[in-house]
Structure 1
Amino acid sequence: MLDEIHKRQHVVNQNRPKRSAEGDAFSLFAITALRLAGRLTAAGDDLARPAGQTSARWQVLAGAQSGTHSVAQIARLLGVARQGVQRLADTLEADRLISYVDNPQHRRAKLVKLTNEGDARLAAIEAAQADWADRLGQSFTPAELEAARAVMTRLIETLDAETGKA
């Protein structure tokens, strides 16, 4: 039985595509980035929880802070689907944390604006996040973090160009 499994596994491995050294390095980077994204989301949920929010709701509140973005613009900034941001925004509006206001640039696409309560909740989350960021930031030099950010930004731009979102 075990011998049969090994034979099948050999056939599966033979059919796997080979990558270049750069492709292997990129794949490891992508896997690491996904692992990091999961941990950052969990940490964001922990930071937002005392204010009765989640990471996702926090991101929409932050996108509404200036009062100059529509739901679609917030979604583009976050790199996520507009429909998901719309659902979150509608929930935040029902909770009276944001409001929709007229957009002078577009009749139908309302702007998303924080209410006073939404601003207070966002401020509480941002205070917790500042302490957290200061604590974690001490493990790295500013140059290391800037280099990592630059690579991620360039990758975002490359992916956007490849998918036509640029």
Structure 2
Amino acid sequence: MKRAAEIFIELVDEIARSRGRTDLAFRSIREAHGLTEVENIVLTAVTHAQRPPTVPQIGRALGHPRQVVQRAADMLATRGLIEWRDNPDHKRARLLIPTAQGIAMREGDDAEGLRRAAQLTEGIDPDMIARAVADLRAIRAIMSQNLRAMAEREDVGEDA
């Protein structure tokens, strides 16, 4: 019987292979606007946020280095898709606000993305997709807890 770690490696491989398929299916939507993958991710994070996010918040949520998110946000601001606002809760971490142009672009891309997603998922049981989403969310939550515990152990080990 395989151990959890061995099965996990298979899961990571399947996610990577699936990611390649989804990238291929959705790439032209992103490229139509000349956005990099990270710029597209940051624009999505800003336009879909409940409250205006900061660069560090986006980086933590997506697992990207702050500097990578900062460069993408700067480029999006230069293109007029987002703008910076002062953050009353933090002197240096400014808030990212979508512009009307950024919202319109995201809404159009989201509509096209849904159309392509419908084509991509033809013949797949929606319940199977829903179970996979729920399972991956649960796995991610436990992995996050484990990463925090690993970081705490490393901090304790370095101080000892």
TM-score by length of 2: 0.81
* Stretches of structure 2 lacking an aligned partner (at least 5 in a row): 152-160
Alignment-mate amino acid for residue 115 of structure 1 = T
Among 7, 31, 36, which residue is 1:49 paired with? 31
- Give the length in aligned residue pairs: 148
What is the alpha-carbon distance in structure 1 between the residues aligned to residue 25 and residue 66 of structure 2? Answer: 24
Tell me the amino acid that sits aligned with residue 96 of structure 1.
G
Q: CA RMSD in A?
A: 2.2
Q: Aligned partners of 2:73 and 2:24: how far apart in 1?
A: 21
Deviates more, 1:60-69 or 1:80-89: 60-69
Conserved? CA contact 2:56–2:66, under 8 Å? yes
List per-residue Cα deviations over 1:71-105 (Å, max 9, x = no partner).
11112222222211111001111112111112222
Instruction: Give the drift of 1:61.
Output: 0.7
Question: How big is the shift at 1:40?
Answer: 2.6
Q: Is contact 2:25-2:116 (8 Å) kept?
A: no
C-alpha separation in 1, matches of 2:90 and 2:61: 18
5 Å-filtered alignment, 1:29-108, equals: 29-65=11-47, 66=49, 68-108=52-92
How many percent of aligned residue pairs carry the same amino acid? 28
Q: Secondary structure at the match of 1:69?
A: coil
2:127 paired residue number: 143
Verify: 1:127 aligned to 2:111, yes or no.
Answer: yes
CA distance in 1, matches of 2:58, 2:78: 18
Letter of the 1:36 counterpart: S
> Structure 2: which amino acid aligns with 1:148?
A
- 1:36 Cα offset (Å): 1.8
Normalising to structure 1: TM-score of the pair?
A: 0.78
Q: State how far apart, in whole Å, the 1-side matches of 2:63 and 2:24 are.
A: 18
The 3-state SS of whatever aligns with 2:67 is helix
1:44 touches 1:54 (CA, 8 Å); kept in 2?
no
